[in-house]
Amino acid sequence: MSANGMWTRMGASGSSVVIAPKTISKEMEERMRVCIEAFMKKAKPDQAKSLKLVRQHVEKSLSLSLTHHKDVLKRLMHGILQRGQAVTTQPEVPVRPEITIAKTKATWWKQDERREALLMGSHRLFQFAVEHPECGLDAIQTFCDLSSTVNDPELHQLLTAFARQLGSGYVGQDLLPEWTLHTQPSPLQVLDCVSSMYTLERIGVQHSRSADLRSFLDHGSSLYSPEVLYIAMRHTSI
């Protein structure tokens, strides 16, 4: 028996693995909660919700076997996800780089200057999106479009990271609260849902109303003709 009251056994790799007793103490549960929350803050949204990955991280970090305590793990994960502390934190704004190449008419079009201009503009757009969340989806769309056109691996990685950081703020949020459950959405709400769903799915984030929209389209697609949806779209652009 170890000093903290846990039984140990020799693992397959030769290392000592701590086996949890029939019940987990409040102290150990708090350590598990802190460990889970730290993992969720660093992991991608889909990884943060994976019971398997979270369990592996906790067992490795705390040398703790959770074979008989999956219910505790699920309860702690559910509590953290409900509070939204781990997956909906505001993205940190990175330090904005400074342009070091002189802006001359003769050289500004060249590749190095264009690359640095794109780098500078990307940081400014990300900071603007963080300060103005209502523009977040538009910024994500822009980052995704740019990442599909650049050939520079570093720029591609940066643009993708910015898009995913902004997208993490939409995990667990109801993006269309005005569309109440079990009601028929308006043409404009259908268009808004389709547009935002497309944007989020480009970075692997599931839209909060995707199931509702698919159900509506499967059973009520004839309610709105293409003409009605087009008119609704035209009104939003005026």
**What pLDDT does 96 receive?**
61
Q: Which helix (H) or strand (E) holds 178?
A: none
**What pLDDT does 136 receive?**
93
**Percentages of the chain per state (helix, strand, coil), in multiples of 5:** 60, 5, 35
**What pLDDT does 199 receive?**
93
pTM more than 0.85: no
Question: Each residue of 52-109: pLDDT tens digit?
Answer: 888 888 888 877 788 777 888 888 888 887 776 444 555 666 666 665 655 555 555 6
**What pLDDT does 185 receive?**
87
Taking the CA of residue 178 as centre, how many other CA atoms within 13 Å lie in the half-sphere pointing to its CB? 8
Which sequence spans correspond to the domains of the chain?
Answer: 7-83, 95-169, 174-238
Q: Report the alpha-carbon distance of residue 103 to residue 82 in Å, rounded.
A: 50
